[in-house]
Structure 1
Amino acid sequence: MPAILITGASSGIGKATALRFHAEGWNVIATMRDPSGSDFAERDNLLVTRLDVTDPASIAAAVAAGIDRFGAIDVLLNNAGYGAYGPLEAFSADRIRRQFDTNVIGLLEVTKAVLPHMRARRSGSIVNISSIGGQITFPLGTLYHGTKFAVEGLSEALHYELEPLGIRVCIVEPGMINTDFGGRSFDFAMDETLTDYAPTAEAMGRLFGKLASNPSSPDVVADVIWQAANEPGDQLRFRAGPDAVDLLDRRKQQDDASFISGIKALMTE
């Protein structure tokens, strides 16, 4: 049976994907920062283990444990991440680094840890979770969108780099998903003294309320990840959710000024 290693598998998209691949008969390496809180049931073809994308030792240990248990890692799903929103001035240097360390550097470190194994086998697929926020931006999302734009760029470059070695790279771009992104996966910074940004923060709240009024289930994204991992062609980008299809189509069809004007209109309506 093939095996998939998933980062950030404790909840949301990662957990839904672990359950989907397990139901399809795959071996699943479900990784998370704190496995003690996992509610996955004991299964022969499921390994729950610790992996913190900001801790290189835990990355190496999880990859080694997965290969030792199942003999191979056929698919890597880089899913772990969170969203930092707020005025740039409100973020300390440490919080800025944490956002990029988790969403970008961590993704690269996990990928690097798996690549020698895939390269030796001349086989494998890497699926990176981006977002509609990797193609378009919303107010106060400087840090989050910066990381997701980076994921898009590095994934596209790796697509060229690894294809001759038999390794596929693709990107999944979810829209608004009914997960805990607005809770533990969301870091909002707002300094009360930065009153100049208050109107923008209020407008962002209205915008997010509209965009998140009908979120898709994590299972929708898991289905798209399944498709991406098993796609026989060389498709690079996969959209997940009807809002992702709509917004990204509009972004492609409009110039910068037109699209940004439309976002501003949503903020004021």
Structure 2
Amino acid sequence: MNTNNKLIVITGASSGFGLEIAKEFAKDGYPLLLLARRVEKMEALQLPHTICRKVDVSDKQEFEAAVREAEAEYGKTELIVNNAGVMLLGDIATQDAQEWKTMLDVNVMGVMNGMQIVMNDMKERQSGTIINVSSIAGVQPFGNHAAYCASKFGVTGLTRVARGEMSPYNVRVLSIMPGAVSTELLGHTSDQAIIDGYNDWKESVGAVNITASDVAKTIKYAYELPQSVSLREIIITDTKQDA
């Protein structure tokens, strides 16, 4: 392990962006805390200098206990990537309200929990980076995305507020907003017709070449810039995605 590298916490690390982010940082020997509900998926990576814990990010006590455990081993968190999220697409008039609550709990409360867990230490040290994974659906509307858009617009807004609160302390708060990328995220949606329509749209615009690894590399690049450089908001999409 490179002793100059400090602890990185990644939520939603069992698949998609989170898994690829973990692999990218592991290449350079960063100590990692990987958090997700499916711990076996993270452990299967067999990454060095890594702690894997089963955590529901909407449970702040559980979330914080895992972070403190890793900090006792590797030192204070220098970067947290609040990536855990669910996408349950549906029409406002008919969608089950429990799906709305699930998205708001994980996508918004989970991010706020992660930020609060590390903020005070970062302020005291005058160092640290928080990266929140939002979505292009956090800056523009999409059909059948109402509650998802609400959650991701929420992430965009709270990230901007947190940036203002933390910048006087030399702490970076960034958001990355991916467009359509092939991950497991769409599989959470219960309406097969919506899934089929989304995939048809993605194929029709040719937005199928960008990968989760591309997003992970972008996040790593933003983090490894000097602490004085803040890529505040990054919208990243397939070149062929025009909406």
Settle same-fold status: TM greater than 0.5: yes
SS of structure 1 residue aligned to 2:165: helix
SS at match of 1:94: helix
- Counterpart position of 1:31: 35
Return the offset for 1:214.
Answer: 1.6
Aligned length: 236
2:162 maps to: 158
Q: Which moved more, 1:97-106 or 1:86-95?
A: 86-95
* TM-score using structure 2 length: 0.88
Task: Name the residue aligned to 2:45.
Answer: 40
Shift, 1:230, TM fit = 1.9
Aligned mates of 1:169, 1:35 — CA distance in 2 = 27
Residue 122 (structure 1) aligned with residue 116 (structure 2): no
Distance in 2 between residues matched to 1:203 and 1:180, nearest whole Å: 16
**Does 2:66 correspond to 1:66?**
no
**Compared CA separation, residues 201 and 77, structure 1 to 2 (3 A):** closer
Cα distance between partner residues in 2 of 1:164 and 1:158: 11
Q: TM-score, normalised by structure 1?
A: 0.80
Cα deviation, 1:7-52, whole Å, max 9, x if unaligned, reads 0001111011101001012111111113134312152x11111221
Confirm or deny: 8 A CA contact 1:139 1:204 kept in the other structure: no
Asked if residue 225 in structure 1 is aligned to residue 229 in structure 2, the reply is: no
Pick the structure with greater CA Rg. 1
Identity %: 26
Question: Are the counterparts in 2 of residues 176 and 243 from structure 1 also a CA contact under 8 Å?
Answer: no
Letter in 2 for 1:234: S
**Match of residue 235 from structure 1:** 231
Structure 1 position 169, deviation (Å): 0.5
Q: CA deviation at 1:201?
A: 8.8
Counterparts of 1:50-129 in structure 2, within 5 Å, are 50-129=54-133
Moved more, 206-215 or 28-37: 206-215
Q: Which residue of 1 aligns with 2:185?
A: 181
Q: Quick one: structure 1 residues 124 and 201, their matched pair in 2 at CA, closer, same or farther if it must change by over 3 Å? A: closer
Larger proportion of helix: 1
Deviation string, structure 1 residues 134-156 (Cα, Å, up to 9, x no partner)? 12222111011111111111111
Q: Is the 8 A contact 1:50 1:58 kept in 2?
A: no
Any stretches of 5+ residues in structure 2 without a counterpart?
none
- Residue 203 of structure 1: CA displacement? 6.0
